[in-house]
Amino acid sequence: MAFTKKVTLKSSDGELFIIDRAVALQSRTIQYVLEDTNPVDAIIPVPAVDARTLSKVLEYCKKHLIDLNTDFEDYSKWDKDFVDAEVWMLYDLIMAADYLHIPPLIDLICDKIASMFKGQTPDKIREIFNIDNDFSKEEEEDFKKKSGWAFK
């Protein structure tokens, strides 16, 4: 057998996660590492992701392993609950999903964050997502004049 069935991931804060190879392969970054170097029983470091986030990402990967017995309808409810998290958690998750390259997870979180922007004022969006307002007062007034309709 050329490949090991289990893979060990090491988070940025040193915690080890022993998981099925199939679960890990949902991350294209890890898939690339495994295909390229085929480490036997090696520990794959994931220096950009801490243990708390990594365990959450792996929870997603385990759930989304293609399983013929699972009803696809189950996923949407499960996914909805999965992203029903604090903003900071979503931040960490999307950074991890981007780094590990898990496209369906990126889509899921992007949709969630986009839905949080809908119907909000610029002030509220800046507050929720901690963004600095670098516009001058005049520029802001100019905006309100030109596209004030969108703010109603």
Partner 1 sequence: MDDLCNKLICTRNENLFDVEDIVINILSRLPVKSLMICKSVSKQWWRLISSPNFMRLQLIRSQENPIYVFYPYSCRCHSEHFLTKIDGETTETLPGCNRHYFRGMICSFNGLICCINTEDIRGMIRCRRIRRLDIHICNPATREVLLLPQSRGSKESPKIGVAFYPRTNEYKVFRFFNPAGKSHDKHSECEVYSSITGCWKGIGCVAHSPWSSNHICINGTVYWFIRSEKDGLIIVSILAVDMEENFSVIGIPEEATLRTFLVSFEGCLSLVAFHVFDKNRFHMWILQDSKKSTWVRKCSDYMSILNIKQVQHVAVQKNEILFASVQQYFFYNMCSRTWREFNWVHDFRKRLSIPLAYTESLLPLCLISHCPLGI
**At 1, is the secondary structure helix, strand, or coil?**
coil
Rounded Cα–Cα distance for residues 113 and 91 (Å): 9
Q: Which residues within the stretch 91-120 sit at the binding site for partner 1 (CB under 8 A)?
A: 91, 94-95, 98-99, 106, 110-111, 113-114, 117-120
**At 26, is the secondary structure helix, strand, or coil?**
coil
Contacts of 13 (CB under 8 A, 6+ apart): 50, 51
CB-based contact 92:54 (threshold 8 Å): no
> Residue 121 interacts with partner 1 (CB under 8 A)?
yes
66 — phi, psi (to 5°)?
-65, 115
Among 3, 39, 55, 65, contact with partner 1 (rule: CB under 8 A): 39
> Residue 70 interacts with partner 1 (CB under 8 A)?
no
| Token pair in block for residue 127 | 């507050």
Would you say 64 or 112 has its CB closer to partner 1? 112
> Of the listed pieces 14-22, 63-71, 76-84, 125-133, which binds partner 1 according to CB under 8 A?
125-133
| Token pair in block for residue 119 | 């119907």
Among 5, 69, 73, 151, contact with partner 1 (rule: CB under 8 A): 151
Which chain residues interact with partner 1 by CB under 8 A?
12, 29, 32-33, 36-37, 39, 42-48, 91, 94-95, 98-99, 106, 110-111, 113-114, 117-122, 125-126, 129-135, 139-140, 142-143, 146-147, 149-151
